[in-house]
Amino acid sequence: MGSRFPGSAAVARRPDLAAGANCQLFAYGVLRHFGLTPPALRSSDLWEDTAATVRVETAEPLDLLLFNRSEDPYGAHVGVWIDDDAVLHLCAEVGRPAVWSLADFAARERYRVLIGAKSVAAAYRP
């Protein structure tokens, strides 16, 4: 497992973004910035998690959204819902964080399926 992925020993020791990030670590960094402290889970573990997050039908600001080319959460791209039809994510395509609409994700093969949204549980909120 790479050293800059959720669940790695390097991330457990240093969860900030100074050493680099992927979309998941970036999303968790955004949540930490706003005082939310869920564990940094890989996308498939995040989707299955029921302790630190809950699945929601309608995303609210600071909810996590998972995208993939299929409904499989393994290796899914993770972004943060910030407003009406706006998702903040670390975008490899442009090489920096970006804000896309749901239509922007749907237009790309690798992100065309919105797997769903997860909200951070109350125990991990300020």
User: Strand ranges (DSSP E) for 8-100?
Assistant: 53-56, 64-68, 77-83, 86-91, 96-100
Q: What is the pLDDT of residue 68?
A: 98
CATH assignment of the domain containing 74: 3.90.1720.10
Give residue 64's domain range. 9-124
pLDDT value for 10: 45
* Number of structural domains the chain divides into: 1
pTM for the full model? 0.86
Q: pLDDT tens digits for 84-100? A: 999 999 999 888 999 99
Is 104 a member of any domain? yes
15 vs 98, which has greater pLDDT? 98
* pLDDT tens column, 44-63: 999 999 999 999 999 999 99
Rounded to an integer, the average pLDDT of 67-88 is 97
